[in-house]
Amino acid sequence: MLFNLKKNFLLGLKKSYSISFLPSKLEKIYSSIFIRILRVIGGFCLALVITGRYTIFYKELHILIFTFAIIQSILIMCISLIKFFYGLYLIIYKPELFEVRNSPLNNFASHLARVISCARIGCGAAVGTTGVLAAAVTYDTILEATAREKVFVPMIAKFYNDIFGEPMMTPENYKNLKEGLSVLPAPENFDVDKFDKEFEKLSPAEKKALVDYIKNKVI
């Protein structure tokens, strides 16, 4: 029984990966040697932009690197979307493509082929999401390189903070934590800059007295 299960799984896996989730004409174009070369170059440029390593190249090449990176990220998004919707279309409207015929029809392996194909579609959607994030990072990197403010990364960070809350462990809080100080946020109406200015106006003796007073109150 275990042998049959393994055999059926392999048959379903083989069947699933024998089916392309791209239309035949697009598959030929996407698999052509020219597009493959562009994909390699684009992937390399995209990695350079995301990691910030594009700066090791001459400035004259930056625009070329950015261009290839943007094209690559757009290509990832488009191909992922096409694979997602076309894959769903095949599973829903072309179920016969996933049939594993082994004299007679192997229903179990056929179902496995569909399940594996669904997993492939899910992975494709994840890749598409990665492409969107990569495009956002690339665009923000271009803005930053041209002395403009970032757009997408701050939006993503704000969205993340809205869900999970503001981070407590900022660099300043981490430093305070190591020194045994409080990492709790300051009161809402507390003006740190104003307090700092007023504190600097004090004499050394007054500063020491104030610090000792605060320490005694806190402890």
Task: Provide the pLDDT for residue 33.
Answer: 94
Give the side-chain half-sphere CA count within 13 A for 214: 8
Beta-ladder partners of 105: 101
Q: What is the pTM of this model?
A: 0.62
Alpha helices in 31-180 (DSSP H): 33-51, 59-93, 107-145, 152-164, 171-178
pLDDT digits (tens, 9 = 90+) for 26-67: 989 998 999 999 999 999 998 898 888 888 888 888 889 999
pLDDT digits (tens, 9 = 90+) for 124-166: 777 777 777 888 888 888 887 777 788 777 777 777 777 766 6
Contacts of 24 (CB under 8 A, 6+ apart): none
Euclidean distance between CA atoms 171 and 177, whole angstroms = 10
Task: Count Cβ atoms below 10 Å from residue 122 Cβ, excluding itself.
Answer: 12
